[in-house]
Amino acid sequence: MLGGDRSDSPPNTAKYTELEGETMTQHSTGLRSLMSPGRYVQGRGALTELGTHVARHGERPLLVADNQVRELTEEPIRTSFEAAGLPVLFETFGGVPSRVESERIAARLRDHGADVVVGVGGGAPIDTAKAAGDDLGVPRISVPTVASTDAPTSALSVVYTEAGAFESYRFYDRNPDVVVLDTELVAKAPTHFLIAGVGDALATWIEARAVSRGDGTTMIGDRATRAGTALAKLSWDILWESALPAVRAVEHNLVTPAVEAVAEANTLLSGLGFESGGLAAAHAIHDGLTAVPHTHALAHGQKVNIGSIAQLVLEGAPSSEIEEFIRFTARVGLPTTLTEAGLGDATEDVLRTVAEAATAPSETIHNLPFAVTVTDVVDALGAVEVLGQQARDEAGLPRAQAPISHG
């Protein structure tokens, strides 16, 4: 979901940030609401239909992608754009989704008289395209080429400094107009992208459930609809059923029904579920983990998994539930110990830094239906290590000794 993954400095944990003179405050009306993209399209070869979808929104699209992604996608995009009578114009994404970069892309949109922007790749270029499109008020289209985050679906971008430090969240009044996800690209991408997406998407239900149990608010600032909460649960159910076979399939570059199901859970259901179901401790602890350098090698969804286990501990979930979650996510390939997250030797001070950031007043951890202190989070993190190692002992696996690799 969200992420301060590029940052070497503590994240700005404000859920709503002041941007361009406009202050977005978390003003809950007590009403329920749900936001979603205008259209979501997914499947093998979906890229060949991109031109048709783009042509519904404009005549002069600008595509934003890095060179690697452009190489992977240019040929099918060219074919589909030509069939739809659209010009093919790429702008190279600079690598960091900063305000400067989105302003640069916005200027390119203006120069070219573009009337629709298409972000192609991972969460970073898609977030940047959303920001540039919002600046100009043109439609935004997301084309994820990995199923690693739910950025393609949401109505917000995570903004970084040019140096790559987390800066702010930028909220929009609407989601992307279209999301087009080609599962053949997802299957051919390195498997760690899909695994990270599973970690991120499993947290969605753990967090939405907590919000629905209490008086929490969603990312929109309102109360959750039954639909938002149910979509988070659907994402969870799909992942328990299909994550393991999907990971095995993607290891062999295969598109199977399990891969289709997991790509949808990671991208669409998790996106709708977090935005309209609400976040709680798992993502707040993820944000806290970005406040120390130890965890920076980890992807967003990997850190979120540590946060999910810690949230279950904080909630006093039945030990059978916690153990089952640890065993399952370890089998998927996610980190389930502090050691794998790079915090094996962490002092109490380091864990306090994490816990302080995770419990900042604006953090979503306060959506839990009970009060949580810094010390509660420090102890929950300690419990993650103990429980994660114990689960390995019981499964006859060697103890975790080093940070997990991207493999």
Ligand X SMILES: NC(=O)c1ccc[n+]([C@@H]2O[C@H](COP(=O)([O-])OP(=O)(O)OC[C@H]3O[C@@H](n4cnc5c(N)ncnc54)[C@H](O)[C@@H]3O)[C@@H](O)[C@H]2O)c1
Residue 283 designated active-site: yes
The closest alpha carbon to 210, from 53, 30, 336, 370, belongs to 370
66 lies in the site for ligand X, by CB under 6 A: yes
Pull the structure tokens for residue 36.
Answer: 């979603």
Residue 296 designated active-site: no
User: Active site residue: 134, 135, 177, 200, which one?
Assistant: 200
Distance of alpha carbon 236 from alpha carbon 202, whole angstroms: 5
Residue 192 designated active-site: no
N-terminal to C-terminal alpha carbon distance within the chain: 21
Q: Which is nearer to ligand X, 72 or 306 (CB)?
A: 72
* Shortest Å, Cβ 152 to ligand X: 8
Ligand-binding site membership of 127 (annotated): yes
Ligand-binding site membership of 107 (annotated): no
Ligand-binding site membership of 123 (annotated): yes
Check: CB of residue 310 under 8 Å from CB of residue 250. no
Looking at residues 88 to 107 of the shown chain, list those that interact with ligand X (rule: CB under 6 A): 97
Selection from Zn ion, ligand X, none that 25 binds (CB < 5 to 8 A by kind) is none
Q: Would you say the C-alpha torsion 402, 404, 406, 407 has a positive or negative sign?
A: positive
DSSP code at position 217:
-
* Dihedral class, residue 396 (left if φ above 0, else alpha if ψ from -120 to 50, else beta): left
Residues 6 or more apart whose Cβ sits within 8 Å of residue 86: 51, 54, 55, 59, 60, 61
Check: CB of residue 337 under 8 Å from CB of residue 389. yes
Q: Are strands 116-121 and 39-43 parallel, antiparallel or unpaired?
A: unpaired
* Shortest Å, Cβ 46 to ligand X: 13
* Dihedral class, residue 278 (left if φ above 0, else alpha if ψ from -120 to 50, else beta): left
Strand ordering across the sheet containing 116-121: 39-43, 178-182, 140-144, 116-121, 61-65, 90-92
User: Active site residue: 57, 283, 287, 366, which one?
Assistant: 283
Distance of alpha carbon 72 from alpha carbon 386, whole angstroms: 43
Q: Which is nearer to ligand X, 189 or 211 (CB)?
A: 189
Selection from Zn ion, ligand X, none that 156 binds (CB < 5 to 8 A by kind) is ligand X
Which residues of the shown chain bind Zn ion in the complex (CB under 5 A)?
Answer: 1, 200
Name the one range near ligand X by CB under 6 A: 145-153, 251-259, 315-323, 385-393.
145-153
357 lies in the site for ligand X, by CB under 6 A: no
* Shortest Å, Cβ 3 to ligand X: 4
341 lies in the site for ligand X, by CB under 6 A: no
Q: Which is nearer to Zn ion, 1 or 63 (CB)?
A: 1
5 lies in the site for ligand X, by CB under 6 A: yes
Residues 6 or more apart whose Cβ sits within 8 Å of residue 57: 115, 116, 139, 141, 177, 178
Residue least distant from Zn ion (Cβ): 1
Q: Using the rule CB under 6 A, which residue among 63, 77, 109, 156 binds ligand X?
A: 156
Ligand-binding site membership of 235 (annotated): no
User: Active site residue: 53, 300, 366, 376, which one?
Assistant: 300
Distance of alpha carbon 31 from alpha carbon 211, whole angstroms: 14
Name the one range near ligand X by CB under 6 A: 122-130, 131-139, 222-230, 244-252.
122-130
Distance of alpha carbon 70 from alpha carbon 311, whole angstroms: 39
232 lies in the site for ligand X, by CB under 6 A: no
123 lies in the site for ligand X, by CB under 6 A: yes
Check: CB of residue 147 under 8 Å from CB of residue 182. no
219 lies in the site for ligand X, by CB under 6 A: no
146 lies in the site for ligand X, by CB under 6 A: yes
Size of the site for ligand X (CB under 6 A): 28
Selection from ligand X, Zn ion, none that 97 binds (CB < 5 to 8 A by kind) is ligand X
Q: Supply the residues annotated as catalytic.
A: 200, 283, 286, 300
Interface residue list for ligand X (CB under 6 A): 1-3, 5, 66, 68-69, 72, 97, 121-124, 127, 145-146, 148-151, 154, 156-158, 185, 189, 299-300
Q: Which residues are annotated as a binding site for NAD(+)?
A: 66, 123-127, 145-148, 154, 156, 160
